[in-house]
Structure formats: structure tokens, C-alpha cells
């Protein structure tokens, strides 16, 4: 059996999805259901004090009982902010300790700040969190984060929200070769083929948000992504045919031709 | 009494709002999922009734929203 | 509804598969069933005269009632051979007139011979065949084959049996833009992501053989390919997010951060 | 009588094998899917009994096999 | 010595250039001189009857004594037009028989029409021309054109004027492997690196026009292209280091380090 | 004029070369002279005590008067080792303070260890060195190293000694956009076109060793690389033509055709 | 006399322009590089004086221009 | 006297080799480019005559070699 275990949890779907950027909560719920994801990321933000008590919230549409919430630290630019945010998230989610750490380098690229990320990871792991960590495709940093005790390494494929796909599959391959914890591509997937390529490389899963939410038809794209991740995983397990550069090989018999 | 919630100054009646549980109720958060930090330290929900409100307290009160 | 019509037939599956190169007929049958394909290509070869009458044949495993047989002209290097082969195929299959024409240029590359292909297509169309035609990615030739009356244009992605994927998506795009008949990528797909990429470009379907038969686990790869073709089609219909070169875009709100 | 089937020379007894239907039966192809070309011309299965066998006839008899 | 022979001529520069699209004849002359090219293509067009007799012409700036004029058939869409155009060119250039044949497929892509090109090549070779022939990257067609007697095969890298570079190096490699006459990439080069890549593949030369004429600074780009073609040729002859996928190799000694 | 200034030095050649991996010192000298480089890297290693006093050394072939020696820290895996090595180098080279810092992450990939690199850079800059720093293509780290005071940022194109070329030009572009000091690609160039591509992106220079030393003919490859770097720079300055995806553009006039 | 040059109708004086050399001179092409096709057939420059002009002749007269 | 040079134990005659300049001369490095670190600290070449040799000193003596 093809088990997928993150920290202390076993998960069925290798597709993890974000909950941002949708038109409305109905679309969020429909797309996420279609995606088959079990783990959904959420951001932690100041409550809108004084708002209408009846105003719907994400939790009414994506039940925390049905889905595993994965609070992230999107928007944090220092280890300190990230740690505080995730401690609040743990309180908010009744002690839930599986979190996604990301510490960003600048607002223009949202590229991770590796030095701060390493700092935050050390603190959070000591503090009992199961840390899934967004990082660059630097294989030395990925190994260090694993050594610190992160339960999943989440390298970017390309910039958050860029949809550029996997820009450097070679670095990903080095990370995959060296990693004993799940490697989940986080950020940069733009369409279904990007997801398949990542899974064919041997990635354990994929986290995406914009690729679904910013498609013209997000619900149909969610369906495509579910199949893409499964297809890529199966192709990886099935073992692809070798590439042959210049010698074609006939699929039909080369004898018994009529003359 | 002056306090700051999520970056905004608030004046609260210290006779009505004695502790953090009172504060949370006044903000109509009781039935919502939230987490609260006072002066940089998290206050567990179970401890809210035991924590008095002090002049100048700074609160961050957060919830979960859509994000990726 | 997303209809797929080839000549006078409506087909459900956009994946067409070959029946060559499998370990045995059982594996052929199992992989093809798993692929969900309805149209399967077969080669026409001299009957092995004097063979054991009881020897099993492809038709015992892949029922011509259940599947649509698509006889091909693999191995033919001239218009004349190809035309004779398909006339025999029509007789063999009780008047069945949907055929795949391929006329090869040389045995080393199996690259199509375009001049002979055009000749054969003219004769076959006049003779009442519904011709699906294997061709290069030359958009002028593709248009000419369509004008002659071929019911489907089948450009290569890369050399037959090479598994190199889509080497020139730009030519494919020109062919797709100009074509009114289905464009089905034939040859060169090596793994699931290749299939998804072809479908995302807007191809109407994919014909493959080696990618499934030469995988380490052909049956699992057949499952992967079924999902790949569906995923790619859905992603095409869903409309992917735009690519953004250097400006990342946050999936989480950029306001409401704790301070 | 000498004929060629699929590139191989065959000697057949012209007293037993009068027409193409007889030929096909002698090759035990009756229950199989096949198609037959004589001297470059296809002979429809329905016409096999009506077509006499001639000295030097060249036949191609084909079936469907696995191919891509 | 690294000789470059086209038909009956020995040429020093492996860069051939077009004379179209420049701001004025002065720029044309300056850029072409900077490029170091010896062979320059010209188009054959109706003389502007009744024009000012003193109006300058290309020939005043690019001397037919100094440069080898290569008349082309740009704009021709049939074998007949192309043949008539080149016969006029031969008359125009006093019996000069080295010509560039191109027969186009449509005005939107300028992709070659292979069937007409083959027809024209047959006629022109019989008529004593030395035919350099613009063609697609179809290796079977390239071989046929060589067999007909063309003195140089000129496959496109990408569409004329597109600047997209070499879209399918694999087809080019097949053509190079099979060719005994010079293979000159014609069309699609957009910048210096495109030219280097083509030469590194083993191409014998490059013909370009837009990449120089449509650069912001055509004269400087001409200088860049001269070096690019030479650099690519030298790198091809020098024999590049092997690529190593994942094992780095230190350039400095791995012993003798301080402790 | 197109000036190239590194720290307090103005340099003419944008090609910097290593001195390792050559067959012998004669080849080293010949190749380096052919390359036109002015700055050559050297490694610092324990003197072979007790060796023949007359044994030739690198300095006899590459004169420190003629070339600018750039001592590197190849082989160092910690900030401490790197700092000690460069202090020794400064003493060795009579106070020369222009150095190349590299701190490696592991011996298999030679990928930089960013955390240690940052530490070492801080110490060295404070200590008065002009630090050229080998780093990953992480744009946040590149900016931090510049902010620390490094005089040149030297991101890898791909792994040291791999010859894989520029794997992620997009990250390089972000680094280039943000940098005010020269960006010099260091590591990964395999052949001339890789160098041209890097320069066309806007890189200020290239440092290479294996691409020249491990070519079949290093001296000829050195000549190719000299032209490649110049060609790429000129093409960058000349401003390439725009790429056009699907609409070809004729280089010859579209009017005046014969009828 | 009516002729067509490069797609345009021209009326020429058949008393002055007797042969193709005259025509070319009248067009001031003498010192220019050109080639001439009459009714689809090339006329060599050396033959221009020997070729008479006929009613309805269609000429293509071409030169070399910048092109790629 | 026992010292370590570039990781190797050396026994030197403390009557002959009084200072680091003597050491360097004994190693025949005088005319070569080198740099010297004792116990982790660089000793400038100008200071070599002023620095005495001590039992157990650890030296790194380096030169420039080909590298990339």
C-alpha cells in the first residue's frame, strides 16, 4: 500500500489545498470538496472586531471536523512573528499542533527568508509543533530543516502565486534523494501538468491554492488537480519507459508485412 | 480604561469588564473560534475569567481565514 | 457537454491505445481495460499459415465487439503498401472504414514520409475510408491532409517509441489553431505528464502504446494515463491561471496581520 | 499446382482445391478473421467459392495483430 | 583547417545575413560589414519603373563584387513562381547560379510548403542551379532535398522573423547526422545564444536577418553575432565537457586543506 | 563605455577563470592566455613540505604580476575554515584583499552552505576584505550578502563541475534586478552557449573552470569562451529583437512580387 | 502599342521603340542591374536588341532589393 | 623539540632552529610564496625572526595552487 504519513498523521490525499482567493465561501467549499483534499491551509488574521455576529466565516463552509486545518504563517517576515502566529493558531484550534511555517523574504517575490525560517523552525519544534516548512529549493537548507525536526519539507516550485511550474527540477531531485520526511511541493504549480511533473519526480504531495482558485473555472480545475496528483503518483510508482533520443522503436511487429 | 485591540484604541468601562472573559463577551466572540494574546503572551481560553484587565493592555485577537 | 467526434463516430474516451509490445495477451487486455480506451490500434500482418488452430489471438482478448479496432499501416514505407494494407484491413473487419494511415520515412526514426502520406490519403479518402493520419508537426502538411478529407490529424509529439514527450508545442499550437477536425497526438508520449501537457494545449485526444506497454508496471501506468488525459482535458476546459514572471501573489490576506 | 502464399511457395492438389474457399479451408482459416489478396487484388470473402485457383497465383492472407 | 564549402564555393564566414528590414542602406552596410558575412541574401522584386534614376539602390551600398549575392524566393507560394524568380535572378546577376529556394505555405506563418519546395528543387537542380534550400526540420524531407542535389539544407530553427530560437534541436540533430552537404540554420534565431546553440549542435552555418536588423542596435548585434557564430563553431570543435546531473566535481584540489 | 568594476578594481575582461583541472601548467597557461581573463582563481593548500625546491609551481606559469590572483576557499565547509584560509591567502599574497568566499554544504553537491557563508562574509568584510561571494540563486540571500558589503554576488548556474548550464534563469533575473554590485555567474557553465545566455540575462561576468579545463581541447574552448562572453555582453547591450510566438514576419518585401 | 510592364498597362510609341533594347532605354534601366521576362520567358540582355516588341506583350522587369 | 607542520609530527633541533625564520629556511621555503599560521594565528613574514619556536607548536604553511 502506498501510505502517506505526515508527522503523526496518515493522510489519504496527496493534494493539500489553500482556502484563499476564491470568489466566495460557496466556491471555496465546492472546489475543495472536488479536489479531494483532506488538509487545507488557513491563514491567521486579526478578528474583525465589531463585525456582524452572523457574518459567515470559513469554518461554516469548511468544517474543521471534516478537514484537517493547517494554519500557516503567510505574511510573516521574521521568526518572531511566525512563532507568535502559530502559537495563537494552536490556541485557536484547541491544541492542534500540525502547522505550516513560512517566513518570507520580501513582499515582491514572497521568496522565503531561509535564515529566519531556520530560527523559527528550531523554536517551534522544541515547543512541540509538528512543523511543515515552506522553503526554497536549496538542498542544504532542506536537509538542515529536516535535521531540526520538521515533519515535512515544502520547497517551492516557483514563486507563490506565479503559476510558473517547476523551474528547477534538478534541485528538487537532490532534495528528494536526501529526504526521509515527506517532500511536498508548495507554491508555483500553475496547471495540472505541473502537478503531474512534481509527482513523477517522486514528490510525496503538493500544496496549491492559486492554481485552483484563479482558474477560470476553479471547481473544474480542482477536479483536474485531483486526477493530476493521482496520475502523477501512479506514473511514478508504475515506472516510466526509458527515453530514447534518436532511435525510434516500432510498436507494431516489423515482420509479416505484405509485399 | 484604555486598551488596544488589534491595533485600535478602545475605551472600556472597567466596572463592567473586569476580566478577559468579560472582554471577549463584550466583543461577541464567545461563540466564535478565536485566540487571544495579551502583551505578547497567549492567554488560554480556560484562563480568561481568571485574568484581570489592566490599563494599557494590548490585545491581539485572531481567527482563521482563507489563505494558502 | 464535451463531445469527442471522430469522423462519423462519437467516442467517450480521449485516450486511444495500441496493442503492441505487451508481455502477453492477458497483460494487453488488463492494461487496455484499465486505460478506459474505446479505440485500439491493431497492425495488419500475414497470417501465420500452418499455425496451431487453437493458438490464442488478440481478438480473443480484446473483443472487436467491445472495442473499436483501428487498423494501422505501421511498417509501410510507400503509399501503395499503405493503401493495399488498409483495403485488406477493411475486408478483414467486415467493411470497417475507420483507419489509421501512417507511411514511414525510414526504419531508424519511423518519421513519417509526408509526400507518400499525402498520396495515400488522397486515394483512401476517395475510396471511402475515414482516415486518421499520422503526420509530422508541419502545420502546412496538417492543413493539406485536412483539406484532402482526413477525419483526424495525428501529429507526432516526438519519434515513435522514443518517450521524449512534446518536443515542439509551438507547431502543435499552430496545427490546433488551424484545424477543424480532431487533432490527436500520436507517438512520443513517454509518461503521464506528457499526456497532460498535450491535452492542456487543446489536443482532442492522444494515441499511445509504448508509454503504457514499456512501463515497469503497464497496468498501473494505464490507470495513470486514463487520469492524465482526463485531467489535461479538464484543465484545458477550466482555463489555467495566468503565468506571472516575477511578481508573486499572496494566497493569504495581506492585511490583518498581528503586530 | 504451384502457388505462393505470404511469400512461400506451396504445392496444392488441384483436384482437391478447386477454388479459394477450398484453399482457405485447407489452411484452417475458416473460423478465423482474415483477409485475402490475390495477385494484388482483394477477394471478398463472399466471392471465395466463385474464384478458381490458378497456377502461379500469389496470395497475401492477413490478420490483425497487436500494434501501435 | 576548418573549411566551409557550399556547392562550388569556399566561404570563410559561417554567418550569412539578409539585407532586409534595416532603417536605411547605411545601416544595412554598416551592420553587414560588422557581421563579417560574405554571403548576403537579396530578394528579387519588380523594378520601380519610372523612379528617379539617381535613387540609391542596395547595390550601391553592398557591392556585388565584395559580397556574394544570394538571391532568394521570399514571397513565393508555388514551385512555379520560385523557379521563374530564380531564373530572373540568374539573368540579373550575370549567370550567378547559387540561389536560395524557399516556397512558403501561408502568409501567417511563412512555414515552408514542402511539396512545392521539392518540386521546385528538382527543376532548379536540373537547370544547373546550386540550390540552397529553406525547409522545415523534417529529416526525411531534408534527406530527399539532399538526394535531389541541393548544395545546402537550410532548416528553420523557428518561424521566420519570430526570434524564438531553436524549438526542436532533436530534429536538427537527426538532419545533421544524415547530411553530407552543409546544414545551415535559416530563420528563427533571435539573439546571440541561439546562434551559438545551433553551431554547437554541429550546424555548418547560420543565415539570419531579423535578429540583427530588428535589434535595438543592429550594428552592435551584428558584432555579437559574428562572435557568436565563431564561438559556437569553436566550442563544437573543442568538444564540450560532459554534463553531470547530480554529482558536482570540485575544480580545486580536495586534499591539502588546512585543519 | 562599458566599464566593469569589482570593488576597487576596474577589469577589462568579463571572463574570470579557474586554474584547476588542467593536464599540466603549460596547458593552464595557454588556455588562460587564450581566454583573455585578467582575474584567475587559485586555491590555498598546504605546501608540500620537503618537496623538490625546483619543482615548478603555478606562479611560474601564471604570473601574479600579469594576472590578478583571486584566492578562493574551495573545500571549506565552515565559516571558520573559510575565514582562516582567506587570512592566510592575504598574507601569502602580500596584503591582497580581493578574495572569493565559498563555504560548501556537502561534498557530493558542493552546493553552498548559506548560513555559514553569511557568517563568514560578515567577518571578512569587517576585516577589510573585498569579498566576492559564491552563493545559491536565492535572491533574498543574494541581497543580504550585498547588504553585508560583499563586492560581487556570484550565484551558481548549476552545481560546480556539472556543466548543466543555467537551471533557473528566473531567479538570476530577480538577483540581477535587485543588485547594485556586479553579479557574476560562478559554477555550472558547460559550454559557450551557457556563457552567452548568462551574459544576455544581464550578468556582469562569468567565472568558470571545468568548462574550459575539461573540454577535449581546452585551449580552443578558452578561445570560444572569450568570444562567448563578449558576444553575450554585446547582445545584451544591443537589445535583442522581441520574440513573436506565432506570427512570422517576412524579412523580404511583401510587395513587388512577380505575377 | 499597348503592353503591360510589372502589372501596369503602358502605351508605347511603336515607331520609337522597335525592340526590347529601346524599351529598356526608354525606362532608363540601361545602367541598372535588372532582368526581364516577356510573357513568362526570360530574354537575355544580349538578345534585347534582337527582340521586337509586340502588341500585348507582358513584361516582368526585376531588380535585387534588400531581403532575408 | 616536537612540532606539527601541516598535520605531520616533526622533531626539530632546538639549538639550530631558534625562531620561525630558521624553521622556514630549514624547510627551504625562503624563496617561495607561502603563508604561515601558528596555533591558529597568522604570523606575518616580517615577524618570523622575532617569533620563537615552542614545544608542541602547530603550524599550517600554505601556498597557492591551481583551483576554480
- Touching chains, E (3+ CB pairs < 8 A): A, C, F, G, H
Q: Is the pLDDT of residue E172 over 90?
A: yes
Subunit contact E81:F240, Cβ cutoff 8 A: no
Write down the catalytic residue from A100, A216, A243, A259. Answer: A100
Question: Residue F87, SS3?
Answer: helix
Best E79, E104, E114, E157 member to test C by mutation, with max C CBs in 10 Å, is: E114
Share of chain C above pLDDT 90, in %: 83
CB atoms within 10 A of CB E101: 30
Please state, in angstroms and rounded to a whole number, the distance separating the CA atoms of residues F211 and F163.
Answer: 7
Beta carbons of C244 and A163 less than 8 Å apart:
yes
Considering only alpha carbons, which residue of chain A is nearest residue B7? A46
Residue to mutate among A79, A112, A138, A162, with most F CBs inside 10 A, is A138
Residue of F101, F104, F103, F157 whose CA lies nearest to F129: F101
Say what percent of chain E tops pLDDT 70.
Answer: 97
Top-confidence residue, A189 or D14:
A189
Task: Count other Cβ atoms within 10 Å, centred on residue F57.
Answer: 17
The answer to whether A128 contacts chain B (CB < 8 Å) is: no
Say which range, A192-196, F249-253, H31-35, has the weakest mean pLDDT.
F249-253
The answer to whether the CB atoms of F161 and E250 lie below 8 A apart is yes
Least confident of C185-199, E16-30, F72-86, G14-28: G14-28
F100 is catalytic: yes
Mean pLDDT of F213-235: 98
CB A132 within 8 A of CB A152: yes
Per-residue pLDDT at A256: 81
Under DSSP, the state recorded for F242 is P
Q: Going from the first residue of chain A to its last (259 residues), give the mean pLDDT of each consecutive group of 10, the final group possibly shorter.
A: 91 96 94 97 88 78 92 94 95 92 94 97 97 98 98 96 94 96 96 98 97 97 98 98 79 80
According to the model, what pLDDT value does residue C55 have? 76
Give me the residues of E, 57-86, that contact H with CB < 8 A: none
Placement of cell 550585498 in the chain: F146
Q: What is the mean pLDDT of residues C27-33?
A: 96
Report which of residues C252 and F126 the model is more confident about: F126
Does the pLDDT of residue F201 top 80, yes or no? yes
- What pLDDT score does E200 carry? 98
Find which of E251, E252, E255, E258 to mutate to test the H interface (most H CBs within 10 Å of its CB).
E258
Average pLDDT rounded to a whole number, residues H28-35: 86
Tell me the pLDDT tens digit for each residue of F30-60: 999 999 999 999 999 998 876 666 778 888 8
State residue F125's pLDDT score.
Answer: 98
**Residues of F engaging A, defined by a Cβ cutoff of 8 Å:** 105-106, 109, 111-115, 118, 136, 138-141, 143-144, 158, 164, 167-168, 170-171, 174
Residues 6+ apart with CB under 8 A from E141: C114, C115, E114, E117, E118, E135
Residue in chain C lying closest to A199 (CA): C193
pLDDT, tens only, A17-57: 999 999 999 999 999 999 999 999 999 999 887 766 677 88
F19, H63: Cβ pair inside 8 Å?
no
Residue of chain A nearest E174, judged by CA positions = A246
Question: Residue F46: closest CA among chain H residues belongs to which residue?
Answer: H62
Give the cell for residue E138.
523534417
Label residue G29 by pLDDT band (50, 70, 90). Answer: confident
State whether residue A250 is helix, strand or coil: coil
Helix (H) or strand (E) run with residue D37 in it: strand D35-38
Q: What is the pLDDT of residue A21?
A: 92
Model-level ipTM above the cut of 0.85: yes
Q: What is the pLDDT of residues C5-27, one digit of tens each?
A: 999 999 999 999 999 999 999 99
H or E element at residue E211: helix E210-213
For residue C60, give how far its alpha carbon lies from the nearest alpha carbon of chain E (Å): 38
Give contacts of E177 with chain A, Cβ < 8 Å.
246
State the average pLDDT for chain C: 93
Residue contact B65–A42, C-beta within 8 A: yes
Residue owning grid cell 513568362: G40
Across the interface, whether the CB atoms of C87 and D42 are under 8 A apart is answered: yes
Q: What is the three-state SS of A63-92?
A: CCCCCEEEEECCCCCCHHHHHHHHHHHHHH
Residues of H in contact with F52 (CB under 8 A): none
| DSSP assignment of E25-63 | HHHHHHHHHHHT-SEEEEEEEE--TT--TT---HHHHS-
Judging contacts by C-beta atoms under 8 Å, the chain F residues touching residue G68 are 250-252
pLDDT tens per residue, range F13-32 = 999 999 999 999 999 999 99
Dist. CA A257–CA A182, nearest whole Å: 51
Mean pLDDT within C48-74:
85
Chains A and G touch (3+ CB pairs under 8 A): no
Helix residue ranges per DSSP H, chain A: 25-35, 58-61, 79-92, 114-126, 139-148, 169-178, 192-200, 210-213, 218-238
Average pLDDT, stretch C66-90?
95
Q: Are F14 and F204 spatial neighbours (Cβ–Cβ below 8 Å)?
A: yes
Question: For residue F53, what pLDDT is reported?
Answer: 65
- Each of the 68 residues of chain B gets a pLDDT tens digit; together they read 899 999 999 998 888 898 999 999 888 888 788 999 999 999 998 899 999 999 999 999 999 999 88
D62 CB neighbours in chain A (<8 A) are 258
Chain B hits for C257, CB-CB cut-off 8 Å, are none
CB contact under 8 A, E138 and C136: yes
- What tens digit of pLDDT does each residue of F105-136 get? 999 999 999 999 999 999 999 999 999 999 99
Residues of H in contact with E252 (CB under 8 A): 65-68
Whether the CB-CB separation of E83 and E123 falls below 8 Å is answered with yes
How far lies A188's CA from each of A52, C124, C248, E104, F137, in Å? Answer: 36, 48, 9, 40, 17
Q: Does F196 score more than 90 pLDDT?
A: yes
The residue length of chain A stands at 259
Does residue C254 belong to the interface with chain B, where contact is any CB pair within 8 Å?
A: no
**Residue closest to E14 by CA, chosen among E259, E235, E251:** E235
C116 to chain E: closest CA residue: E115
Cβ atoms E251, F207 nearer than 8 A: no
Grid coordinates representing C242 are 495566468
Cα E99 to Cα E132: distance, rounded to the nearest angstrom? 6
What one-character DSSP code corresponds to residue D49? G
Q: Share the mean pLDDT of chain H.
A: 90
Q: What is the pLDDT of residue F1?
A: 67
E192 within 8 A of F196, measured Cβ to Cβ: yes
Q: What is the mean pLDDT of residues E72-76?
A: 93
Burial class of A2 by CB neighbour count within 10 A (0 to 12, 13 to 18, 19+): exposed
Are the beta carbons of H62 and F18 separated by less than 8 Å? Answer: no
What does the pLDDT look like over C42-58, one tens digit per residue? 999 998 877 666 778 88
**Cell numbers for F178:** 535587485
Residues in chain C: 259
- Annotated catalytic residue, options F12, F23, F100, F180: F100
Confidence class of residue H68 from pLDDT cuts 50, 70 and 90?
confident
Lowest mean pLDDT among A247-251, C96-100, C209-213, D49-53: A247-251
Pick F173's closest partner by Cβ from C170, C174, C246.
Answer: C246
pLDDT at F52: 65
**Which pLDDT does position E53 carry in this prediction?**
65
Compute chain G's Rg from CA coordinates.
12
Nearest residue, CB atoms, C161 vs list A108, A248, A257: A248
The yes-or-no verdict on residue C246 having pLDDT over 90 is no
Residue C68 vs residue F49, higher pLDDT: C68
pLDDT at position A246: 66
Q: Which of C12, C23, C100, C226 is catalytic?
A: C100
pTM of the model: 0.93
Query: Rounded mean pLDDT of C85-94?
Result: 93
Q: What is the pLDDT of residue A53?
A: 65
Q: Which residues of D57-67 are buried (b: 16+ CB within 10 A; e: fewer)?
A: bebbbbbbbbb
- In this predicted structure, the answer to whether residue C100 has a pLDDT above a threshold of 80 is yes
Amino acid at each position: 500500500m502506498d501510505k502517506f504519513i505526515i508527522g503523526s498523521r496518515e493522510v489519504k490525499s496527496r493534494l493539500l489545498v489553500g482556502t484563499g482567493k476564491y470568489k466566495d465561501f460557496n466556491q471555496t467549499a465546492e472546489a475543495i470538496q472536488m479536489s479531494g483534499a483532506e488538509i487545507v491551509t488557513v491563514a491567521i488574521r486579526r478578528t474583525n472586531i465589531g463585525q456582524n455576529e452572523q457574518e459567515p466565516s470559513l469554518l461554516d463552509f469548511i468544517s474543521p471536523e471534516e478537514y484537517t486545518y493547517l494554519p500557516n504563517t503567510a505574511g510573516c517576515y521574521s521568526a518572531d512573528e511566525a512563532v507568535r502566529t502559530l502559537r495563537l493558531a494552536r490556541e485557536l484550534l484547541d491544541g492542534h499542533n500540525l502547522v505550516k511555517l513560512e517566513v518570507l523574504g520580501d513582499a515582491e517575490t514572497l521568496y522565503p527568508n531561509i535564515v529566519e525560517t531556520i530560527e523559527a523552525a528550531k523554536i517551534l519544534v522544541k515547543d512541540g509543533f509538528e512543523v511543515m516548512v515552506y522553503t526554497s529549493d536549496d538542498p542544504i537548507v532542506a536537509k538542515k530543516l529536516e535535521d531540526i525536526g520538521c515533519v515535512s519539507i515544502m520547497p517551492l516550485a516557483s514563486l507563490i502565486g506565479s503559476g510558473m511550474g517547476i523551474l528547477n527540477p534538478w534541485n528538487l531531485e537532490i532534495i528528494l534523494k536526501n529526504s526521509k520526511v515527506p517532500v511536498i511541493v508548495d507554491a508555483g504549480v500553475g496547471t495540472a501538468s505541473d502537478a503531474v511533473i512534481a509527482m513523477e519526480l517522486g514528490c510525496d504531495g503538493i500544496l496549491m491554492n492559486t492554481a485552483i482558485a484563479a482558474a477560470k473555472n476553479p471547481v473544474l480545475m480542482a477536479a483536474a488537480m485531483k486526477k493530476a496528483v493521482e496520475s502523477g503518483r501512479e506514473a511514478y510508482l508504475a515506472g516510466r519507459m526509458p527515453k530514447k533520443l534518436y532511435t525510434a522503436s516500432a510498436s507494431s511487429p516489423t515482420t509479416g508485412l505484405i509485399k | 480604561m484604555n486598551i488596544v485591540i488589534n491595533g485600535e484604541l478602545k475605551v472600556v468601562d472597567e466596572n463592567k469588564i473586569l476580566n478577559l472573559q468579560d472582554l471577549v463577551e463584550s466583543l461577541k466572540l464567545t461563540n466564535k473560534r478565536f485566540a487571544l494574546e495579551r502583551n505578547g503572551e497567549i492567554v488560554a481560553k480556560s484562563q480568561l475569567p481568571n485574568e484581570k484587565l489592566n490599563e494599557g493592555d494590548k490585545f491581539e485577537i485572531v481567527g482563521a481565514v482563507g489563505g494558502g
